[in-house]
Each structure stands twice: as structure tokens, then as C-alpha cells.
């Protein structure tokens, strides 16, 4: 590997589904030259795909330099790494197709390989079509599970974050009919541990306050509308609190978000996908970020999908992608800072004294 030109963070950015809005948002973000002043962005796609999206979305300001491998990336420039060697140069923007899914996978595979080889520092993934990307090489519900498999762990947390709200999910990408069976004390403890560790190490919150939601309407109404709260969720919350965690609940989801109670906590643990993501996107859609906690690497993503209905029309909002890039860099730096604090007993004690941090 060639010597790095400077210490700017190298940010790998995948194309996502090239028939969706991923490349449009990338072009819009990096049409602002200030975005590449403090980082070294590397986009994994193809020059012809860039040309197509520039034309369709009337984006003239975007400029880039082509490189053959990530180690050649130029600081203060937007770098394009061609990972679609057999690309025919045409895209059916706005439509779902297996061909687009294959291109999305090639981009993800190449960026992930460079991340594993330490050729880049963080990974930002653009939206994929979870159905069209399926193949013998990608047999996963989404990015989170794919990256967890590569990292050799099954203990990860889908963590949606913004300036005003952070939401984690217990059961993730599972059918609604399977949610109740997937909620156990062990699973709640696992997700709480991942959330607490991430809040401390990734977000610099030494003593995080976490709210846990119930599963049923009104958190079960004392067993009238379901017993999961009494039998599983409340005991798990109590045990976590007794071990020193600032963990509270279970709360009824509707009133919790509607009343603004979430503002009193550093993060919220929801029981299933839509229970957490629906209010999160309603509150923080423009700057929401999907972060995978528990991985040894840093990966973020915008909190929206492929947006086929607006793809190629110049309507996509790039704010979430921009936020995903900022969060990835911030988490990388927070982890480094935490490691430095934890490297000596004196610094570790100063960190605890400063913020009244207590390990559970």
C-alpha cells in the first residue's frame, strides 16, 4: 500500500441501487467543494453511471478524479473508483431490476473489502433494494446482517441517530408475526448492552439514560392488552437498572413520542422495526442516519430507501447522506478518543470523575 498523503479520514461511499436516488444524493452532497476539504471521499461506482445521473438530475457542479485503487485517493478531491468493469453504460433509472441489484452488490463488496484491508477508514452505504440485491453472494435481509456476517458477529444493533433522537431496535428485520417470539429477556439485555456501549464509546455519553418501549398498546395496560411487558420487558428493565444502567420503562410508544418524553433520554430501545423507525423518520427524516452499533468498523447509511418514484427527477434530498458522512466521521473520532482515555488508568479515572461515569 502506498503511503498516505495526509491524515484526513478516508470515507468509502457505495453507490447503492444505481436505479434509485443514491447516486443523485452523492452528486448533490459533493457538488459542494467544502465537503471534501476535511475528508477524502471515495465513491464506488462507474464514470458512465455518474454521467447519467448528472444529466438526468441536471447537476453540473460535481467534479471528480478517477483512481484505480483506494490507496491512490487524492485528499481534497472527490475520488471515483470504478468497480463495475463489465458495466454496459445504461441505467433504467426509477425501476427495480436484478442488474441494478448486482451493481449495488459489487459496489458494496469492493468498499467492504477496502475497509477490511484498512484502505479506507469508514463506510457509508447508499440505499439498496433488499429484494433485487439477493444472490448466492448476498443472502441477507439488509446491510446490517451482511456486515455482521463479514465481521464474524451476530450481536449488532440497528441504531437510528439524529441530533434530537436515537432509536435502537430489538427484533430488526423480521415479520411482524414473529416479533413477540423474538422478544426475550436475553435479547433485550443484549441490545441494551450494545446500546449502552455505543453511547459511551461512539457518541461520548459517559452515563446514558435509555428508555425502553413496551410491545403492546399502552405497554400492555397491566396485562389487559398483552403480557409481554409484565413477563419479559419489565423484568429485563429492572435487572438492567439494578446492574447500574440508567434504564427506564416500558413506556407506551404512542404517548412516549407524542408527548416529547423521548427528549429526556439519550436513546430509546424499541421492540420492533416500525415501532421505532416510524416515529424516528417522522421526527428526524431530513437528517436521520442508520448506524450499525456493535461492529468493529464504522458504518452509516441514510435513513431513506431507493426512492424509485423520484429517481432521476432532481427531487432527492441529500441531507440524510450528508448527515451519514458526518456521523461516520464523528463516531470514528469518538472511538479513537475513547481508546486514548482507556489506554492508561489515570486517564480512565479522569474520564470517570469528570462525568460521574459508573461502569455497570
Domains and CATH numbers, the chain: 1-153+295-354 (3.40.718.10), 154-287 (3.40.718.10)
Q: Are 245 and 192 in contact (CB under 8 A)?
A: yes
Pairwise CA distance, residues 126 & 142, whole Å: 12
How far is Cα 284 from Cα 272, in angstroms, rounded to an integer? Answer: 18
Cα(282)–Cα(193) distance, integer angstroms: 27
Arithmetic mean of pLDDT, 250-279 = 94
Over the stretch 164-208, which tens digit does the pLDDT of each residue have? 999 999 998 889 999 999 999 999 999 999 999 999 999 999 999
Q: Is the pLDDT of residue 359 over 50?
A: no
pLDDT 10s digits, 199-236: 999 999 999 999 999 998 888 778 878 889 999 999 99
Q: What is the pTM of this model?
A: 0.90
pLDDT digits (tens, 9 = 90+) for 94-142: 999 999 999 999 999 999 999 999 999 999 999 999 999 999 999 998 9
Q: Is the separation of the CB atoms in 344 and 328 below 8 Å?
A: no
Separation CA 133–CA 115 (nearest Å): 21
The span from the CA of 326 to the CA of 355, in Å, is 25
C-beta of residue 249 within 8 angstroms of C-beta of residue 217: no
Amino acid at each position: 500500500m502506498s503511503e498516505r498523503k495526509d491524515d484526513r479520514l478516508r470515507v468509502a461511499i457505495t453507490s447503492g441501487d444505481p436505479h434509485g436516488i443514491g447516486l443523485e444524493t452523492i452528486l448533490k452532497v459533493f457538488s459542494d467543494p467544502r465537503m471534501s476539504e476535511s475528508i477524502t471521499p471515495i465513491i464506488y461506482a462507474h464514470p458512465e453511471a455518474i454521467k447519467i445521473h448528472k444529466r438526468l438530475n441536471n447537476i453540473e457542479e460535481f467534479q471528480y478524479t478517477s483512481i484505480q485503487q483506494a490507496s491512490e485517493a487524492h485528499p481534497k478531491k472527490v475520488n471515483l473508483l470504478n468497480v463495475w468493469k463489465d458495466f454496459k453504460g445504461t441505467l433504467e433509472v426509477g425501476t427495480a431490476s436484478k442488474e441494478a441489484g448486482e451493481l449495488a452488490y459489487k459496489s458494496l463488496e469492493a468498499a467492504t473489502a477496502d475497509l477490511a484491508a484498512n484502505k479506507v477508514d469508514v463506510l457509508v452505504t447508499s440505499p439498496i433494494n433488499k429484494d433485487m440485491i439477493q444472490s448466492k453472494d448476498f443472502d441477507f435481509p439488509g446491510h446490517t446482517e451482511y456486515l455482521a456476517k463479514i465481521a464474524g458477529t451476530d450481536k449488532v444493533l440497528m441504531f437510528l441517530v439524529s441530533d434530537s433522537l436515537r432509536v435502537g431496535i430489538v427484533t430488526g428485520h423480521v415479520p411482524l408475526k414473529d416479533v413477540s417470539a423474538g422478544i426475550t429477556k436475553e435479547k433485550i439485555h443484549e441490545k441494551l448492552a450494545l446500546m449502552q456501549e455505543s453511547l459511551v464509546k461512539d457518541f461520548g455519553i459517559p452515563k446514558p439514560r435509555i428508555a425502553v418501549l413496551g410491545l403492546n398498546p399502552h405497554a400492555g395496560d397491566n396485562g389487559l392488552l398483552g403480557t409481554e411487558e409484565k413477563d419479559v420487558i419489565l423484568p429485563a428493565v429492572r435487572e438492567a437498572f439494578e446492574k447500574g444502567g440508567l434504564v427506564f420503562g416500558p413506556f407506551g410508544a404512542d404517548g412516549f413520542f407524542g408527548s416529547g418524553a423521548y427528549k429526556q433520554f439519550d436513546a430509546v430501545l424499541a421492540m420492533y422495526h416500525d415501532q421505532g423507525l416510524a416515529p424516528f423518520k417522522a421526527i428526524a427524516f431530513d437528517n436521520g442516519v442508520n448506524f450499525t452499533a456493535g461492529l468493529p468498523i464504522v458504518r452509516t447509511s441514510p435513513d431513506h430507501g431507493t426512492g424509485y418514484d423520484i429517481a432521476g427527477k432532481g427531487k432527492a434530498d441529500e441531507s440524510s447522506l450528508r448527515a451519514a458522512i458526518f456521523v461516520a466521521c464523528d463516531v470514528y473520532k469518538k472511538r479513537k478518543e475513547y481508546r486514548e482515555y482507556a489506554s492508561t488508568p489515570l486517564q480512565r479515572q479522569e474520564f470517570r470523575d469528570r462525568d460521574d461515569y459508573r461502569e455497570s
